[in-house]
């Protein structure tokens, strides 16, 4: 028994010898604090795989979320693919069920529409749901030359960008938490949301550019103009700035998915997920 069980078990018998910490200290001193169990080694928590995107269409993340239907227990499913570098929605669809076959159809369609923009190898990251790891899905990825990547089991933080996007979606003022009357209504609402998100939403994670602007390669030009406006404002009224520099509008040239701690601390230009 480990000390965390020994101490309360003895207490149930009316005996107290020492604290758990003392038990552990003595076990370590006597070299008796070893791995217990049938496995050869203690379980080690795997580190998440780290990916870095320096341009669009290098790393995509995707996930599925529930949309309430017209009655309790009836759902529609939004499949959504996000580009890591630009945060742009590169593919989406609403279906009535979750299957690897439907996911494969969306991946094929999205790949044909986007891959002409980049010749870099593409990584597709997702969680461990059945549609993400089904044989049909994996076969599709291999045929398209896409590298599959999955989050660690039961660790939603390994896919934070998709999770964040779904939160943005469900906090829109006109979202319908009480349910969509039909799948056509759900698709129409999602189409409106995607248009707003891509072309109107100034995303805080990419220096308040719209995802479509950054995906199209216009980000650095827009940020340079924005920087010039700030510098002109400071030159016109320096007393308002108290000697401070203008806001940092430098372009984010690297975006990491699950950044390694050493990498993220050494590379000051990299953006991390909060």
Cβ atoms < 10 Å from Cβ of 23:
17
Task: Give me the residues paired with residue 66 across strands.
Answer: 77
Question: Using an 8 Å Cβ cutoff, are 151 and 126 in contact?
Answer: yes
Which of these, 118, 127, 113, lies nearest to 49 by C-alpha position? 127
Q: Give the helix/strand (H/E) hosting 257.
A: strand 254-257
Contacts of 134 (CB under 8 A, 6+ apart): 99, 100, 101, 103
Helix residue ranges per DSSP H, 33-182? 100-114, 130-133, 135-144, 160-170
The confidence score (pLDDT) of residue 38 equals 59
What whole-number distance in Å separates Cα of residue 234 and Cα of residue 97? 55
* CATH 3.30.420.10 domain extents, the chain: 51-193
Cα(257)–Cα(202) distance, rounded to whole angstroms?
Answer: 21
Distance of alpha carbon 86 from alpha carbon 53, whole angstroms: 9
Q: For residue 229, give Cα distances in angstroms to 144, 249, 273.
A: 44, 11, 28
Looking at the chain, the number of H-run helices and the number of E-run strands are 10, 8
Rounded to the nearest 10°, the torsion over CA 271, 88, 47, 122 is -110
> Residue 105: what are its φ and ψ, rounded to 5°?
-60, -45
Structure confidence at residue 171 (pLDDT): 93
The pLDDT, as a whole number, for residue 264 is 41
Of the candidates 121, 109, 117, which has an alpha carbon nearest to the alpha carbon of residue 51? 121
Angle among Cα 204, 206, 210 to the nearest 5 degrees reads 85
Each residue's pLDDT expressed in tens, for the chain with a length of 274 residues: 788 888 888 889 888 999 988 998 998 888 887 766 555 555 555 555 788 999 999 999 999 999 999 999 999 999 999 999 999 999 999 999 999 999 999 999 999 888 655 556 799 998 877 777 778 888 888 888 888 888 865 555 668 899 999 999 999 988 988 899 999 999 999 999 999 999 999 999 999 999 999 999 999 999 999 999 999 999 998 888 887 788 899 999 999 987 765 444 444 444 444 3
CA–CA separation, 151 vs 159, rounded Å?
7
Which pLDDT score is estimated for 52?
A: 92
Distance in angstroms (rounded) separating the CA atoms of residues 226 and 218? 12
The third-level CATH classification (topology) of the domain covering 51-193 is: Nucleotidyltransferase; domain 5 (3.30.420)
């Amino acid at each position: 028994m480990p000390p965390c069980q020994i101490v309360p078990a003895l207490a149930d018998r009316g005996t107290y010898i020492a604290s758990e910490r003392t038990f552990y200290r003595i076990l370590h001193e006597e070299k008796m604090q070893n791995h217990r169990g049938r496995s050869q080694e203690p379980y080690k928590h795997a580190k998440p795989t780290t990916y870095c995107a320096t341009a669009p269409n290098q790393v995509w993340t995707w996930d599925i979320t529930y949309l309430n239907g017209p009655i309790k227990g009836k759902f529609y499913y939004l499949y959504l693919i996000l580009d890591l570098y630009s945060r742009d929605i590169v593919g989406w669809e609403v279906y009535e069920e979750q299957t690897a076959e439907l996911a494969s159809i969306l991946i094929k369609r999205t790949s044909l529409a986007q891959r002409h923009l980049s010749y870099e190898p593409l990584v597709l990251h997702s969680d461990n749901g059945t549609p993400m790891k089904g044989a049909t899905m994996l076969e599709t990825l291999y045929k398209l030359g896409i590298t599959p990547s999955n989050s660690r089991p039961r660790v939603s933080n390994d896919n934070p960008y998709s999770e964040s996007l779904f939160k943005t979606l469900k906090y829109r003022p006109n979202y319908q938490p009480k349910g969509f009357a039909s799948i056509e209504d759900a698709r129409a609402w999602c189409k409106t949301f995607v248009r707003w998100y891509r072309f109107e939403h100034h995303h805080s994670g990419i220096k308040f550019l719209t995802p479509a602007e950054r995906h199209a390669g216009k980000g650095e030009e827009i940020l340079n103009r924005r920087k010039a406006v700030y510098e002109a404002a400071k030159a016109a009224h320096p007393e308002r700035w108290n000697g401070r520099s203008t806001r940092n509008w430098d372009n984010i040239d690297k975006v990491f998915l699950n950044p390694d701690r050493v990498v993220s601390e050494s590379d000051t230009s990299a953006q991390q997920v909060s």
